[in-house]
Amino acid sequence: MRRRLRVLVSLLLVAGFLATTGCVAVKPWERDLLARRDMAFEPDGLEAKREAHIYFSKEASMPGGSGGGGGCGCN
């Protein structure tokens, strides 16, 4: 019984800690910094499209691939 209580208290402490650290309010004057191009997940759109095409072309040549093409890059 004592061990269950200790485990329960530990889980509640961990859950409370995780719940308080996840939400961050972004102030209006900080949004301009987050909206910069270099802060994007893919800062260079053309480069991201090129890499996606290469990945698509190469993965299509492997069994179980989700795309079409023969792996030569001529899609």
Over the stretch 47-74, which tens digit does the pLDDT of each residue have? 888 888 887 777 655 555 555 555 555 5
Note down the domain range covering 75.
45-75
Other C-beta atoms closer than 10 Å to the C-beta of 57 total 19
pTM for the model:
0.35
- In the block, tokens 């040549």 appear at 61
pLDDT bin (cut points 50, 70, 90) of residue 9 is very high
Q: Domain tally for the chain?
A: 1
In a domain, 58, yes or no: yes
Distances (CA, A) of 1 to 9, 13, 21, 56: 12, 19, 31, 56
Q: Round the average pLDDT of the chain to a whole number and report it.
A: 76
Which helix H or strand E contains 2, and what residues bound it?
helix 2-21
Question: Tell me, what's the pLDDT at 25?
Answer: 78
Residue 72 covered by a domain: yes
Any residues with CB less than 8 A from the CB of 59 and at least 6 apart, and which? 65, 66, 67
- When pLDDT is cut at 50, 70 and 90, the band that residue 32 belongs to is confident
- Predicted pLDDT of residue 43: 77
For residues 59 and 66, the answer to whether their CB atoms sit within 8 Å is: yes
